[in-house]
Amino acid sequence: MTYRVAIVGATGLVGRTLLEILHERHFPVAALDLYASARSAGTTLAWKDHALPVQELTPSAANRHYDIAFFSAGAAIGRNYAPLFAEQGTIVIDNSSAWRADPSVPLVVPEVNGARAFTHKGIIANPNCSTIQLAVALAPIERLFGIERVVVATYQSVSGAGNRGLEQLRAELEGREPAVRIAPHPIAHNAVFHAIAADGWSEEERKVMTELCRILERPDIAVVATCVRLPFFRSHAEAVWVECRQCVDMEFLLAAYKQSPGVVLMEEDYPTPRRVAGSDAVWIGRVRRDPSNPRAVALWVVADNIRKGAATNAVQIAELLHAGASPTQSATFAGTAS
Ligand SMILES: NC(=O)c1ccc[n+]([C@@H]2O[C@H](COP(=O)([O-])OP(=O)(O)OC[C@H]3O[C@@H](n4cnc5c(N)ncnc54)[C@H](OP(=O)(O)O)[C@@H]3O)[C@@H](O)[C@H]2O)c1
Protein backbone atom coordinates (compact mmCIF):
# COMPACT_ATOMS: atom_id res chain seq x y z
CA MET A 1 0.00 0.00 0.00
CA THR A 2 1.26 3.48 -0.81
CA TYR A 3 -0.06 6.82 0.36
CA ARG A 4 -0.96 10.21 -1.00
CA VAL A 5 0.73 12.53 1.49
CA ALA A 6 0.53 16.25 2.23
CA ILE A 7 2.86 18.27 4.45
CA VAL A 8 1.33 21.49 5.80
CA GLY A 9 4.10 23.80 7.03
CA ALA A 10 6.61 22.16 4.68
CA THR A 11 9.03 25.12 4.69
CA GLY A 12 9.46 25.14 8.47
CA LEU A 13 12.10 23.35 10.51
CA VAL A 14 9.78 20.45 11.25
CA GLY A 15 8.29 20.38 7.72
CA ARG A 16 11.68 20.17 6.02
CA THR A 17 12.73 17.42 8.42
CA LEU A 18 9.52 15.53 7.65
CA LEU A 19 10.60 15.52 4.00
CA GLU A 20 14.01 14.08 4.96
CA ILE A 21 12.58 11.45 7.27
CA LEU A 22 9.93 10.21 4.83
CA HIS A 23 12.81 9.63 2.42
CA GLU A 24 15.26 8.15 4.94
CA ARG A 25 12.70 5.70 6.34
CA HIS A 26 11.35 4.76 2.91
CA PHE A 27 7.79 5.60 3.86
CA PRO A 28 5.65 4.35 0.93
CA VAL A 29 4.69 7.68 -0.62
CA ALA A 30 2.65 7.59 -3.83
CA ALA A 31 2.34 11.37 -4.15
CA LEU A 32 3.58 14.26 -2.01
CA ASP A 33 2.15 17.79 -1.93
CA LEU A 34 3.67 20.63 0.08
CA TYR A 35 1.82 23.55 1.66
CA ALA A 36 2.91 26.65 3.53
CA SER A 37 1.81 30.27 3.77
CA ALA A 38 1.37 32.65 0.84
CA ARG A 39 4.94 33.87 1.58
CA SER A 40 6.38 30.57 0.33
CA ALA A 41 3.98 29.87 -2.53
CA GLY A 42 5.89 29.32 -5.77
CA THR A 43 9.13 28.20 -4.12
CA THR A 44 10.31 24.61 -4.40
CA LEU A 45 11.77 22.09 -1.96
CA ALA A 46 13.96 19.17 -2.95
CA TRP A 47 12.69 15.67 -2.23
CA LYS A 48 14.51 12.66 -3.63
CA ASP A 49 15.25 13.69 -7.23
CA HIS A 50 12.30 16.07 -7.44
CA ALA A 51 11.88 19.80 -6.93
CA LEU A 52 8.43 19.92 -5.36
CA PRO A 53 6.42 23.15 -5.58
CA VAL A 54 5.22 24.74 -2.36
CA GLN A 55 1.56 25.76 -2.57
CA GLU A 56 -0.32 28.26 -0.47
CA LEU A 57 -2.57 26.46 2.02
CA THR A 58 -6.23 27.20 1.32
CA PRO A 59 -9.35 25.27 2.37
CA SER A 60 -9.58 23.66 -1.08
CA ALA A 61 -6.40 21.66 -0.33
CA ALA A 62 -8.53 19.49 1.93
CA ASN A 63 -10.58 18.37 -1.08
CA ARG A 64 -7.60 16.61 -2.64
CA HIS A 65 -8.28 13.50 -0.55
CA TYR A 66 -4.86 12.80 0.86
CA ASP A 67 -4.43 9.59 2.82
CA ILE A 68 -2.16 11.24 5.40
CA ALA A 69 -1.44 14.91 6.10
CA PHE A 70 1.41 15.90 8.39
CA PHE A 71 0.65 19.31 9.91
CA SER A 72 3.45 21.47 11.32
CA ALA A 73 2.24 25.03 10.85
CA GLY A 74 1.22 26.13 14.33
CA ALA A 75 -1.87 25.73 16.48
CA ALA A 76 -4.16 28.11 14.56
CA ILE A 77 -3.64 26.22 11.30
CA GLY A 78 -4.01 22.89 13.10
CA ARG A 79 -7.24 23.99 14.76
CA ASN A 80 -8.81 25.43 11.61
CA TYR A 81 -7.59 23.08 8.90
CA ALA A 82 -7.18 19.63 10.48
CA PRO A 83 -10.96 19.07 10.70
CA LEU A 84 -11.36 20.08 7.04
CA PHE A 85 -8.85 17.44 5.98
CA ALA A 86 -10.22 14.82 8.40
CA GLU A 87 -13.77 15.35 7.07
CA GLN A 88 -12.46 14.33 3.64
CA GLY A 89 -11.07 11.05 5.00
CA THR A 90 -7.48 12.23 5.45
CA ILE A 91 -5.68 11.14 8.61
CA VAL A 92 -4.05 14.26 10.06
CA ILE A 93 -0.97 13.91 12.25
CA ASP A 94 -0.65 17.35 13.84
CA ASN A 95 2.57 18.59 15.41
CA SER A 96 0.96 21.66 16.95
CA SER A 97 -0.68 21.98 20.36
CA ALA A 98 -4.16 22.44 18.82
CA TRP A 99 -5.56 18.97 19.61
CA ARG A 100 -3.27 17.62 22.32
CA ALA A 101 -5.68 18.24 25.19
CA ASP A 102 -8.77 16.99 23.34
CA PRO A 103 -9.76 13.66 24.94
CA SER A 104 -11.22 12.43 21.63
CA VAL A 105 -7.85 12.88 19.87
CA PRO A 106 -5.10 10.35 20.67
CA LEU A 107 -1.79 11.85 21.81
CA VAL A 108 0.77 9.33 20.66
CA VAL A 109 4.39 8.39 21.29
CA PRO A 110 4.78 5.09 19.41
CA GLU A 111 7.22 3.51 21.90
CA VAL A 112 4.88 4.31 24.80
CA ASN A 113 1.22 4.21 23.73
CA GLY A 114 1.30 3.32 20.04
CA ALA A 115 -1.94 1.34 20.22
CA ARG A 116 -3.76 4.62 20.90
CA ALA A 117 -3.06 5.70 17.31
CA PHE A 118 -5.70 3.25 16.12
CA THR A 119 -8.43 4.96 18.16
CA HIS A 120 -8.25 8.11 16.03
CA LYS A 121 -11.28 9.73 14.44
CA GLY A 122 -9.25 11.46 11.73
CA ILE A 123 -6.79 13.49 13.82
CA ILE A 124 -3.79 12.25 15.82
CA ALA A 125 -1.81 14.70 17.95
CA ASN A 126 1.98 14.59 18.14
CA PRO A 127 3.02 15.64 21.66
CA ASN A 128 5.20 18.59 22.59
CA CYS A 129 8.90 17.99 21.86
CA SER A 130 9.98 18.14 25.52
CA THR A 131 7.21 15.72 26.48
CA ILE A 132 8.01 13.10 23.85
CA GLN A 133 11.54 12.46 25.11
CA LEU A 134 10.38 12.58 28.73
CA ALA A 135 7.62 10.03 28.07
CA VAL A 136 10.03 7.64 26.33
CA ALA A 137 12.45 7.91 29.27
CA LEU A 138 9.80 7.52 31.97
CA ALA A 139 7.66 4.74 30.47
CA PRO A 140 10.04 1.94 31.63
CA ILE A 141 10.16 3.48 35.14
CA GLU A 142 6.35 3.62 35.23
CA ARG A 143 6.10 -0.02 34.12
CA LEU A 144 8.66 -1.28 36.65
CA PHE A 145 8.06 0.79 39.76
CA GLY A 146 4.96 3.00 39.26
CA ILE A 147 5.58 6.73 39.21
CA GLU A 148 4.21 9.07 41.89
CA ARG A 149 6.01 12.35 41.21
CA VAL A 150 8.22 13.90 38.50
CA VAL A 151 10.29 17.05 38.77
CA VAL A 152 11.89 18.09 35.48
CA ALA A 153 14.00 21.04 34.35
CA THR A 154 14.45 21.40 30.60
CA TYR A 155 17.47 22.82 28.78
CA GLN A 156 15.96 23.60 25.38
CA SER A 157 17.59 24.70 22.14
CA VAL A 158 16.37 27.71 20.16
CA SER A 159 15.18 25.48 17.29
CA GLY A 160 12.27 24.52 19.54
CA ALA A 161 10.81 27.88 18.52
CA GLY A 162 11.26 27.19 14.80
CA ASN A 163 13.02 29.36 12.24
CA ARG A 164 12.51 32.47 14.41
CA GLY A 165 14.57 30.96 17.21
CA LEU A 166 17.48 30.22 14.88
CA GLU A 167 17.34 33.76 13.53
CA GLN A 168 17.45 35.43 16.96
CA LEU A 169 20.44 33.40 18.18
CA ARG A 170 22.32 33.63 14.86
CA ALA A 171 21.83 37.39 14.70
CA GLU A 172 22.94 37.91 18.28
CA LEU A 173 26.05 35.76 17.79
CA GLU A 174 26.85 37.74 14.61
CA GLY A 175 26.31 41.06 16.41
CA ARG A 176 23.32 42.20 14.33
CA GLU A 177 19.75 43.07 15.30
CA PRO A 178 17.50 39.97 14.87
CA ALA A 179 14.81 40.27 12.19
CA VAL A 180 12.47 38.34 14.52
CA ARG A 181 12.66 37.42 18.20
CA ILE A 182 11.32 34.62 20.36
CA ALA A 183 12.17 36.33 23.66
CA PRO A 184 12.46 39.93 24.75
CA HIS A 185 15.78 39.11 26.46
CA PRO A 186 18.95 38.30 24.50
CA ILE A 187 19.40 34.55 24.09
CA ALA A 188 23.13 34.46 23.24
CA HIS A 189 25.21 33.78 26.39
CA ASN A 190 21.99 33.72 28.40
CA ALA A 191 19.22 31.53 29.84
CA VAL A 192 15.63 32.63 29.25
CA PHE A 193 12.12 31.36 29.82
CA HIS A 194 9.22 30.82 27.44
CA ALA A 195 6.54 33.51 27.86
CA ILE A 196 5.21 33.36 31.41
CA ALA A 197 1.44 33.59 31.91
CA ALA A 198 -0.40 35.45 34.66
CA ASP A 199 -0.58 32.25 36.74
CA GLY A 200 3.23 32.09 36.87
CA TRP A 201 3.67 29.11 34.53
CA SER A 202 4.80 29.13 30.91
CA GLU A 203 2.69 27.35 28.31
CA GLU A 204 5.63 24.99 27.66
CA GLU A 205 5.68 23.99 31.34
CA ARG A 206 1.92 23.39 31.30
CA LYS A 207 2.25 21.24 28.17
CA VAL A 208 4.90 19.01 29.75
CA MET A 209 2.88 18.64 32.95
CA THR A 210 -0.44 17.75 31.29
CA GLU A 211 0.75 15.84 28.22
CA LEU A 212 3.02 13.49 30.19
CA CYS A 213 0.10 12.34 32.35
CA ARG A 214 -2.07 11.81 29.26
CA ILE A 215 0.53 9.74 27.42
CA LEU A 216 1.34 7.57 30.45
CA GLU A 217 -2.41 7.37 31.15
CA ARG A 218 -1.76 8.33 34.76
CA PRO A 219 -3.63 11.57 35.46
CA ASP A 220 -2.67 11.25 39.13
CA ILE A 221 1.11 11.64 38.64
CA ALA A 222 2.32 14.90 40.20
CA VAL A 223 4.52 16.68 37.65
CA VAL A 224 6.42 19.94 38.08
CA ALA A 225 8.33 21.39 35.11
CA THR A 226 10.65 24.36 34.74
CA CYS A 227 11.34 24.97 31.06
CA VAL A 228 14.43 26.95 30.08
CA ARG A 229 15.66 28.09 26.66
CA LEU A 230 19.47 28.06 26.21
CA PRO A 231 21.78 29.38 23.47
CA PHE A 232 22.41 26.27 21.38
CA PHE A 233 20.77 25.37 18.09
CA ARG A 234 19.59 21.80 18.29
CA SER A 235 18.25 19.19 20.77
CA HIS A 236 16.62 19.49 24.16
CA ALA A 237 18.11 18.14 27.40
CA GLU A 238 16.24 17.44 30.62
CA ALA A 239 17.31 16.90 34.22
CA VAL A 240 14.64 14.62 35.65
CA TRP A 241 13.91 13.43 39.21
CA VAL A 242 11.31 10.71 39.59
CA GLU A 243 9.76 9.38 42.77
CA CYS A 244 8.13 5.96 42.52
CA ARG A 245 5.69 3.85 44.52
CA GLN A 246 8.25 1.08 44.93
CA CYS A 247 11.98 1.11 45.67
CA VAL A 248 13.99 1.57 42.47
CA ASP A 249 16.10 -1.45 41.55
CA MET A 250 18.88 0.13 39.50
CA GLU A 251 19.89 -3.13 37.82
CA PHE A 252 16.32 -3.73 36.63
CA LEU A 253 16.05 -0.17 35.40
CA LEU A 254 19.31 -0.18 33.46
CA ALA A 255 18.46 -3.58 31.95
CA ALA A 256 15.06 -2.22 30.89
CA TYR A 257 16.63 0.82 29.24
CA LYS A 258 19.04 -1.43 27.31
CA GLN A 259 16.02 -3.24 25.84
CA SER A 260 13.76 -0.24 25.32
CA PRO A 261 13.05 0.59 21.68
CA GLY A 262 14.14 4.09 20.72
CA VAL A 263 16.43 4.50 23.75
CA VAL A 264 20.23 4.82 23.82
CA LEU A 265 21.61 4.35 27.34
CA MET A 266 25.03 5.94 27.93
CA GLU A 267 26.76 4.53 30.99
CA GLU A 268 30.40 5.54 30.49
CA ASP A 269 29.93 9.05 29.14
CA TYR A 270 26.78 11.24 29.05
CA PRO A 271 24.70 12.52 26.13
CA THR A 272 24.94 16.17 25.11
CA PRO A 273 22.69 18.17 22.76
CA ARG A 274 25.47 18.34 20.14
CA ARG A 275 26.20 14.62 20.35
CA VAL A 276 22.52 13.75 19.94
CA ALA A 277 21.62 16.19 17.14
CA GLY A 278 20.58 14.25 14.02
CA SER A 279 19.63 11.11 15.98
CA ASP A 280 16.15 9.60 16.14
CA ALA A 281 16.66 8.08 19.59
CA VAL A 282 16.11 9.35 23.11
CA TRP A 283 19.45 9.32 24.89
CA ILE A 284 19.60 8.64 28.63
CA GLY A 285 22.58 9.08 30.92
CA ARG A 286 23.62 9.83 34.49
CA VAL A 287 21.02 7.45 35.95
CA ARG A 288 21.46 7.79 39.73
CA ARG A 289 19.53 6.53 42.72
CA ASP A 290 18.50 9.39 45.00
CA PRO A 291 20.77 8.86 48.06
CA SER A 292 18.11 10.19 50.41
CA ASN A 293 15.14 8.30 48.94
CA PRO A 294 15.28 4.64 47.77
CA ARG A 295 12.06 5.16 45.77
CA ALA A 296 13.57 7.98 43.68
CA VAL A 297 15.96 8.18 40.74
CA ALA A 298 17.61 11.05 38.86
CA LEU A 299 18.48 11.00 35.16
CA TRP A 300 19.55 13.13 32.20
CA VAL A 301 17.54 12.82 28.99
CA VAL A 302 18.52 14.31 25.61
CA ALA A 303 16.87 14.09 22.17
CA ASP A 304 16.83 15.95 18.87
CA ASN A 305 13.73 18.12 19.23
CA ILE A 306 13.11 18.43 15.49
CA ARG A 307 13.51 14.71 14.80
CA LYS A 308 12.24 12.54 17.70
CA GLY A 309 10.59 15.60 19.26
CA ALA A 310 8.50 16.24 16.15
CA ALA A 311 9.10 14.85 12.64
CA THR A 312 10.37 11.35 13.46
CA ASN A 313 7.61 10.75 15.99
CA ALA A 314 5.02 11.86 13.41
CA VAL A 315 6.41 9.53 10.73
CA GLN A 316 6.59 6.67 13.26
CA ILE A 317 2.85 7.19 13.88
CA ALA A 318 2.23 6.94 10.13
CA GLU A 319 4.37 3.77 10.06
CA LEU A 320 2.26 2.27 12.84
CA LEU A 321 -0.91 2.95 10.85
CA HIS A 322 0.71 1.49 7.75
CA ALA A 323 1.83 -1.65 9.61
CA GLY A 324 -1.63 -2.07 11.15
CA ALA A 325 -3.59 -1.35 8.01
CA SER A 326 -5.33 -4.62 7.18
CA PRO A 327 -7.34 -4.58 3.93
CA THR A 328 -10.45 -3.73 5.98
CA GLN A 329 -8.80 -0.99 7.98
CA SER A 330 -7.25 0.50 4.90
CA ALA A 331 -10.74 1.48 3.80
CA THR A 332 -10.46 4.30 6.38
CA PHE A 333 -7.72 5.77 4.19
CA ALA A 334 -9.81 7.73 1.76
CA GLY A 335 -8.66 8.71 -1.67
CA THR A 336 -6.39 7.35 -4.25
CA ALA A 337 -3.77 5.22 -2.55
CA SER A 338 -2.45 2.84 -5.14
N1 LIG B 1 10.57 23.20 16.43
C2 LIG B 1 10.29 22.21 17.25
O3 LIG B 1 11.17 21.70 17.99
C4 LIG B 1 8.91 21.64 17.33
C5 LIG B 1 8.72 20.45 18.02
C6 LIG B 1 7.44 19.93 18.14
C7 LIG B 1 6.39 20.57 17.56
N8 LIG B 1 6.59 21.74 16.87
C9 LIG B 1 5.43 22.38 16.28
O10 LIG B 1 5.50 22.22 14.86
C11 LIG B 1 4.97 23.37 14.23
C12 LIG B 1 6.01 23.95 13.28
O13 LIG B 1 7.17 24.27 14.01
P14 LIG B 1 8.52 24.72 13.27
O15 LIG B 1 9.56 24.70 14.33
O16 LIG B 1 8.71 23.94 12.03
O17 LIG B 1 8.15 26.24 12.92
P18 LIG B 1 8.72 27.16 11.73
O19 LIG B 1 10.10 26.77 11.37
O20 LIG B 1 8.47 28.55 12.18
O21 LIG B 1 7.76 26.82 10.49
C22 LIG B 1 6.42 27.17 10.49
C23 LIG B 1 5.75 26.62 9.25
O24 LIG B 1 4.37 26.97 9.29
C25 LIG B 1 4.04 27.59 8.04
N26 LIG B 1 2.95 28.56 8.19
C27 LIG B 1 2.91 29.65 8.98
N28 LIG B 1 1.75 30.31 8.80
C29 LIG B 1 1.06 29.61 7.86
C30 LIG B 1 -0.19 29.80 7.22
N31 LIG B 1 -0.98 30.84 7.49
N32 LIG B 1 -0.58 28.90 6.29
C33 LIG B 1 0.19 27.84 5.99
N34 LIG B 1 1.40 27.61 6.56
C35 LIG B 1 1.82 28.49 7.48
C36 LIG B 1 5.31 28.29 7.63
O37 LIG B 1 5.25 28.65 6.26
P38 LIG B 1 6.09 29.91 5.70
O39 LIG B 1 7.51 29.45 5.57
O40 LIG B 1 5.43 30.16 4.39
O41 LIG B 1 5.93 31.02 6.67
C42 LIG B 1 6.32 27.20 7.95
O43 LIG B 1 6.29 26.23 6.94
C44 LIG B 1 4.53 24.31 15.33
O45 LIG B 1 3.16 24.09 15.60
C46 LIG B 1 5.36 23.87 16.51
O47 LIG B 1 4.74 24.16 17.76
C48 LIG B 1 7.83 22.27 16.72
Instruction: List, for residues 135-170, the tens digit of each pLDDT value.
Output: 999 999 999 999 999 999 999 999 999 999 999 999
Q: What is the mean pLDDT of residues 126-139?
A: 98
Cβ of residue 140 lying under 6 Å from some atom of ligand 1 = no
Q: How far is CA 268 from the centre of its chain?
A: 28
- Catalytic residue set: 129, 236
* Residues 107-123, mean pLDDT to the nearest whole number: 97
Closest CA to 5 of 27, 37, 38, 36: 27
CA distance 113 to 124: 12
Evaluate if residue 331 carries a pLDDT over 80: no
Determine the average pLDDT of the residues in 111-124. Answer: 97
The Å distance, Cα 223 to ligand 1 centre, comes to 28
For residue range 192-217, what is the model confidence (pLDDT) as tens digits? 999 999 999 999 999 999 999 999 99
Ligand 1 mean position to 205 CA, how many Å?
20
Please indicate whether residue 163, judged by its CB atom, sits closer than 6 Å to ligand 1.
yes
d(CA 263, CA 207): 22
The residue-averaged pLDDT of 255-262 equals 97
Mean pLDDT score, 23-50: 97
- The mean per-residue pLDDT over the stretch 284-299 comes to 98
> What average pLDDT does range 258-267 have in this prediction?
97
Closest residue by CA, ligand 1 atom 22: 12
- Say if residue 336's pLDDT is above 60: no
Question: Does the pLDDT of residue 306 top 60, yes or no?
Answer: yes
User: Which of ligand 1's atoms lies nearest the C-alpha of 9?
Assistant: 43
57 lines ligand 1 (CB under 6 A): yes
Best residue among 7, 8, 13 to mutate for probing ligand 1, ranked by most atoms within 8 Å of CB? 13
- What is the three-class DSSP state of 86? helix
How confident is the model at residue 325, as a pLDDT?
A: 64
* Over residues 52-74, mean pLDDT: 98
Q: What structural domains and CATH numbers belong to the chain?
A: 3-98+310-332 (3.40.50.720), 130-304 (3.30.360.10)
Helix residue ranges per DSSP H, the chain: 13-24, 75-87, 110-113, 129-145, 163-174, 203-216, 250-259, 273-276, 312-324
